[in-house]
């Protein structure tokens, strides 16, 4: 039987050990079994329950309520889901309007500023570019802990199975589009690939958690080629694909000023 310690569970679910203690304490998630030594041991059942808990928690439902939902066998999930739907929809609306507000503000700022501080501005951006690129190179061979790692990992945290899958679908579709170009004999530098490459960059950026400069994206191409796992996976899509993609990325980045 699978038997997981707190740390293992915490790592799998990407939550803290303290959170597990807490859930135990409030009776939301108790270990399958407690050892002589007082250690908590969780089984597959508990992992599933934890997954449910985390899904609910992502919807900002208080823990006590989650417990009530999960423990009440007569609870009407349909009604619950429908009310959750409206809650999520409301939040989505709020974010959408926030986006519009931000866009408007950006437009204003741009109109105001682009003329004045253009030089000073690009200077700032350049130093950022440099820092980013150095970070990547360092990461290639220096096994130290970097904020990039946390950021990237943090991005996958709290994602549901569905979201993960949606991400993979998106990535697969992008890669397929680019591979199509390769099969058709379109040169990697061609503008025809631009939309696909742009999508790929968007995907990477979304995973990255923040908007990185174009040069960092170009630097990724080197990382691709430098690592065997990467090359192997890309080559399995289509022979020559790793090189093709890398060239396309670099070319695209070069064209973006």
By CB under 8 A, the residues from 144 to 163 that bind a second copy are 144-156, 159-163
Q: Is 256 in the site for a second copy (CB under 8 A)?
A: no
Indicate whether 194 belongs to the interface with a second copy (CB under 8 A).
no
Distance of CA 68 to the CA centre of its chain: 31
* Nearest residue (CB) to a second copy, 25 versus 240: 240
Burial of 238 (0-12, 13-18, 19+ CB in 10 A): middle
Report the residue number, 18 or 150, with the smaller CB distance to a second copy: 150
Q: Helix (H, G, I), strand (E, B), or coil: what is residue 42?
A: strand
| CA–CA dist 74, 70 (Å, integer) | 10
CA 125/CA 132 separation, integer angstroms: 11
Q: Which is nearer to a second copy, 25 or 254 (CB)?
A: 254
State how far the Cα of 91 lies from the Cα of 207, in Å rounded to an integer.
22
Question: How many binding residues for a second copy (CB under 8 A)?
Answer: 133
List phi, psi (to 5°) of 30: -100, 145
- Which among DNA, a second copy, none contacts residue 51 (Cβ within 5 to 8 A by kind)? a second copy
122 binds, among a second copy, DNA, none (CB under 5 to 8 A by kind): a second copy
Please identify, among the stretches 44-52, 61-69, 150-158, 203-211, the one whose residues bind DNA according to the rule CB under 7 A. Answer: 61-69
The yes or no reply on residue 39 touching DNA (CB under 7 A) is yes
Asked whether 42 and 26 are in contact (CB, 8 A), the reply is no
Q: Which of 34, 62, 71, 103 binds a second copy (CB under 8 A)?
A: 103
240 interacts with DNA by CB under 7 A: no
Q: Which is nearer to a second copy, 198 or 232 (CB)?
A: 232
**Contact between residue 214 and residue 183 where contact means Cβ atoms under 8 Å apart:** no
Counting contacts by CB under 7 A, is residue 63 touching DNA? yes
b/e 51-84 (16+ beta carbons within 10 angstroms → b):
eebbbbeeeebebeebbebeeeeeeeeeeeeeeb
Binding residues (CB under 7 A) for DNA: these are 5-8, 15-19, 21-22, 35-40, 57, 62-64, 187, 189-191, 255
């Amino acid at each position: 039987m699978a038997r997981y310690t707190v740390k293992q569970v915490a790592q799998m679910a990407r939550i803290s050990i303290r959170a597990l203690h807490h859930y135990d304490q409030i009776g939301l998630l108790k270990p399958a079994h407690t050892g002589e030594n007082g250690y908590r041991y969780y089984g597959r059942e508990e992992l599933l329950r934890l997954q449910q808990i985390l899904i609910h928690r992502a919807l900002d439902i208080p823990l006590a309520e989650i417990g009530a939902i999960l423990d009440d066998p007569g609870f009407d999930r349909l009604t619950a889901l429908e009310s959750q739907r409206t809650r999520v929809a409301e939040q989505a609306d709020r974010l959408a309007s926030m986006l519009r507000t931000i866009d408007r503000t950006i437009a204003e700022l741009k109109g105001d500023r682009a003329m004045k501080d253009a030089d000073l501005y690009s200077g700032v951006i350049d130093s950022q570019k440099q820092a980013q690129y150095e970070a990547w190179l360092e990461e290639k061979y220096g096994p130290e802990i970097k904020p990039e790692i946390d950021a990237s990992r943090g991005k996958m945290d709290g994602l549901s199975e569905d979201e993960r899958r949606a991400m993979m679908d998106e990535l697969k579709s992008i890669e397929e589009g680019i591979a199509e170009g390769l099969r058709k004999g379109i040169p990697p530098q061609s503008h025809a690939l631009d939309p696909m490459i742009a999508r790929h960059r968007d995907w990477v950026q979304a995973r990255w958690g923040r908007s990185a400069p174009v040069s960092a994206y170009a630097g990724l191409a080197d990382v691709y080629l430098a690592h065997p796992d990467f090359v192997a996976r890309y080559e399995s899509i289509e022979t020559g694909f790793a090189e093709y993609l890398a060239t396309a990325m670099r070319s695209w980045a070069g064209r973006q000023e």
